Amino acid sequence: MDFHLFVLFLVTFTAAVALPGPNVAFAVAQTLKHGLKIAIPGAIGFGTGVAVHAAVVLSGVGIFIRDNQWVLLYVRWIGAIYLGYLSIIASCGKRESRTEDAVRWNSRQVFVDSLIVSLANPKGWLATLVTYPSFISPSGSYLGQAVPMGTAATAISVAVYCGYMVLADRASVVLSNRSMLEKTTGALYACVAVSLVFLNR
């Protein structure tokens, strides 16, 4: 593996993930709605999504996606419809149970929701299709480069989204009014849904 190429990949990927977009907005919304403890598994959900992106692209299936953009269109609409549903639920302001069973269930649901959003975001797929191949050295072992890149990308994603969630949790103190918190969360979900449909064309 070319060390300089790998470092450049780390810097490029970190900058791409840290740039606010649909995933970041969703991570913030989940934290505002559920609190940090329940929302944190969402960061792992985003990381899992990145791992899936990497596995698909680096296995060669990404070529099919690149040549058949209609796949992303269907994925995008499925994600947008689901987010629209979450926006309505959040805006209705259903109060959640704080029992241990409820916390565990909510954490699992946050993980699944974050994974769905990650996989439904065409920006993630297109960025992966462009980024990974650019940092593979033809002189090195393909597998020896692909695995470390995918692993590093997953770890970076989890760390970045955890950071956003911590910031959102601290900012939630300002939005101490429950009704305002629910409306803000619903609006963020709606914004993510709209961005999936219109901003990734």
Q: What is the pLDDT of residues 135-168, one digit of tens each?
A: 888 888 888 888 999 999 999 999 999 999 999 9
User: 10 falls in which pLDDT band (50, 70, 90)?
Assistant: very high
User: 123 falls in which pLDDT band (50, 70, 90)?
Assistant: confident
- pLDDT tens-digit map of 58-107: 887 656 655 666 665 666 676 677 667 666 766 665 545 455 555 566 88
CA 18 – CA 33 distance, rounded (Å): 21
Mean pLDDT calculated for residue range 109-133: 85
Q: In this prediction, what percent of the chain has a pLDDT beyond 70?
A: 68
User: 19 falls in which pLDDT band (50, 70, 90)?
Assistant: confident
CA 69 – CA 95 distance, rounded (Å): 40
CA 9 – CA 66 distance, rounded (Å): 21
CA 31 – CA 85 distance, rounded (Å): 18
- pLDDT tens-digit map of 32-64: 888 899 999 999 999 999 999 999 888 876 566
pLDDT value, residue 2:
77
Alpha helices (H) along 35-121: 36-58, 61-67, 70-92, 100-120
| Of 21, 34, 28, residue with least CA distance to 187 | 28
